[in-house]
Amino acid sequence: MSQDFARLPQATQWQGSDFSSKSDVAVDLDEQAVAASLSRVRELAENGRNAVDLTQDDIPLSALAGQLTAVRQEILDGRGMVILCGFPVDQLSLQENEIFYWAVGLHLGRPVSQSVMGDRLGHVIDVSGKDKQARAYRNSEELTPHTDPADILAFLCLHPAETGGESIFASSQTVHEIMRCKRPDLLARLYKGYKWHRFGEQPEGFDPITPHRVPVYSEKDGLVSCRIVRQYIEIAADEYPDLALEPDDRAALGMFEELAKTDGIGFRFTLGPGECVVANNYTVLHARTAFEDGDDPARKRHLLRLWLESNPPRPVVPEVFIYGNGEPGIPPNPGKTPYYEHNIDII
């Protein structure tokens, strides 16, 4: 393919070295506006309402709407990452936290399914003691730089790990520009893309492997978007010999991954209770260091997660959709869990 790659907006090309701390990318939710909403949150919880059944009409956050509109704009058209602070997690029960977080999420986008279980409000906790082959977000191992199959992701920290669990966020646009300047030949490999293993979460009647190559980078209407989970590429190559990766493919994926993790390019931080990171999945990569929980099960690392469809949606090529439905998220498949037995250690 041509190596005349699109030039990317400067606003999206940040590096971790641009920030001295989390406060440089943080937005503090208006404390009075949050407090004013809590009586309604508690009322809904007392009445047994499930967060995922609620609409903006059920819990209007009009006093926060201006802040959340500005955050959404920054996510979609600017840097692509914001840390929202001031969620009153210590004042609320788990159900109440779910309701308030869901209400905030509805102002940022439309929640979509995160797995075959149909969970639109995810709980990121370590279940590896029960399920050794669970999808990566459900264990405590390192997660290498990747994107999720939605427009926007959001993680709210209810409780951090006892040790580890540091987040690494990086601009995929910055990585693109470095590779464009230093190794355009390897960048071209990423534009060509790879077939993915669907990790057992494909709809009934669909093949476990995508019929098309999923481009790591692609361009639509002048916007360059990124889609990558290296594990799924590696599983496909491991199980299907005709999809074996060539040395240049491994070099391209390796350079991409190392750049995203490099100190000064990746931005490293640990979310504390009540802090929520929101990011554009098409312009920002996220990763996580391994972590360990303490002995108290009530104090395990616990994040709430949302995958959101943006409005308006980002223009993207159809090949970025993994599950054959042309929509963000993972189609629900009742009775299945996010599990697939494999031999690949790359996460």
Instruction: Please write down the HEC assignment for all residues of 242-307.
Output: HHCCCHHHHHHHHHHHHHHHCECCEEEECCCCCEEEEEECCCEEEEECCEECCCCHHHCCEEEEEE
For residue 5, the model assigns a pLDDT of 77
For residue 139, the model assigns a pLDDT of 59
Tell me the pTM: 0.91
DSSP string spanning 120-184?
SSEEE---TTT-TTB-GGGSSS-EEEE--SSSEEEEEEEE--SEE--EEEEEHHHHHHHHHHH-H
Strand partners, 219: 224
Cα–Cα distances (Å) from 225 to 15, 91, 246, 284, 296, in that order, read: 17, 39, 24, 9, 41
- CB 319: neighbour CB atoms within 10 A? 14
- CB 312: neighbour CB atoms within 10 A? 7
For residue 1, the model assigns a pLDDT of 37
Contact indicator for 304, 88 with CB cutoff of 8 Å:
no
Helix axis angle, 94-106 to 31-46, nearest 10°? 120
Q: Rounded to whole angstroms, how far apart are CA atoms 156 and 82?
A: 12
- Per residue in 212-246, pLDDT (tens digit) is 999 999 999 999 999 999 999 999 999 999 999 99
Cα–Cα distances (Å) from 102 to 36, 37, 39, 166, 272, in that order, read: 16, 13, 16, 24, 19
For residue 324, the model assigns a pLDDT of 77
Q: What residues in the chain have per-residue pLDDT under 70?
A: 1-4, 7, 127-140, 339-347
Q: Rounded to whole angstroms, how far apart are CA atoms 301 and 164?
A: 10
Q: What letter represents residue 232's amino acid?
A: Y
For residue 134, the model assigns a pLDDT of 53
